[in-house]
Amino acid sequence: MTADYRFDPLQFPMPAGTGLFPRRDIDLYAELSSRVGVGVHGFILVDLGRKAWNLRKKYWQSGGGGTWAAFREAVHQCYPHLPVEEKLEQDGHEFDSLYELAVYRCLKPMLASTVKLDVHPHLRGCAFQEEASADFKVSSAQSGKSCCIEVVGLFDQTFIAYSSAQKERKDKTLRRLHCYSANHRPILVFKDMVCDPEQVSAALRQALVSVEEDGLRVAA
């Protein structure tokens, strides 16, 4: 049998209390993920400030996917509630993006007992697209009012297309938003808003207040 001289990390484990990644970077990632509400990916780090951008360059842009996967594993070891890979399923729903999942997690605890949340509900009476659906819809059992929420995960509030993917999707996004009638305009949550707890909360609160009769029943 041929001897194997390759390094075996199981035979020679790392010294106790040390790791390949600085603890300050791991703690920063955990802080950023707590702010957004999901385990942030490289594309989300763009909207989280200079420190987040440096984290992105160090681990997401360098060394291919292996470096990022190893970093996420190190984060998981220190913060077990942050998975190595954030799944897009929760509560029986499958979301289209981490931005949408983050909005869902922010919205749920804000709901009053009289307000119902629908995920990906069908849009009735849409003249442009029969199969159109919203990202979220909140409805009040007391007032009978409803309001839809659209998560615009590819664009920030400037709605400028920077990447080729954005350029391809811009017209499709506009058509989607114009599916709504003038009397039922949705609340928009852009990707940079998802990264700002105050802005995303304010947008979601506007949706909730709009369906309540007196605007006083929205959960704090």
Question: Domain residues for 44?
Answer: 23-78
Residue 7: pLDDT over 60: yes
pLDDT of residue 220: 39
Give CA torsion, residues 215, 216, 217, 220, to 10 deg: 110
Rounded CA-CA distance 92/26 in Å is 30
Rounded CA-CA distance 216/213 in Å is 8
Residue 157 and residue 113 share a domain: yes
Longest dimension (CA), the chain: 80
Residue 73 and residue 108 share a domain: no
Per-residue pLDDT tens digits for 123-170: 876 656 667 789 999 999 999 999 999 999 999 999 999 888 889 999
pLDDT of residue 128: 60
Number of domains in the chain: 2
Residue 182 and residue 113 share a domain: yes
Residue at 2 is within a domain = no
pLDDT of residue 208: 97
Residue 13: pLDDT over 80: no
Residue 1: pLDDT over 60: yes
Residue at 7 is within a domain = no
Residue 161 and residue 190 share a domain: yes
Residue 27: pLDDT over 80: yes
Q: How far is CA 113 from CA 35, 134, 142, in A?
A: 25, 22, 10
Residue 198 and residue 103 share a domain: yes
Per-residue pLDDT tens digits for 78-121: 999 999 999 999 999 999 999 999 999 999 999 999 999 999 99
Residue 30 and residue 57 share a domain: yes
* Among 12, 44, 78, residue at a domain's last position: 78
Note the pTM of the prediction, 2 decimals. Answer: 0.86
pLDDT of residue 18: 61
Which token pair is 13?
Answer: 């484990």
Instruction: Kindly report the backbone phi and psi dihedral angles of residue 108, in degrees, each rounded to the nearest multiple of 5, phi listed first.
Output: -55, -50
Per-residue pLDDT tens digits for 45-78: 999 999 999 999 999 987 667 889 989 999 998 9
Are residues 200 and 106 in contact, defined by beta-carbon separation less than 8 angstroms?
yes
Percentage of residues in the chain with pLDDT exceeding 90?
68
- Residues paired with residue 61 on neighbouring β-strands, in sequence order: none
- pLDDT: which is higher, 216 or 168: 168
Residue 93 and residue 74 share a domain: no
Can you give the CATH number for the domain in which 106 is found? 3.40.960.10
Which token pair is 148?
Answer: 């839809």
pLDDT of residue 217: 46
Residue 130 and residue 71 share a domain: no
- pLDDT: which is higher, 213 or 196: 196
Residue at 147 is within a domain = yes
As to burial, measured by CB atoms within 10 angstroms (0-12 exposed, 13-18 middle, 19+ buried), residue 62 is: exposed
pLDDT of residue 180: 86
Rounded CA-CA distance 60/53 in Å is 10
Residue 205 and residue 160 share a domain: yes
Rounded CA-CA distance 67/162 in Å is 26
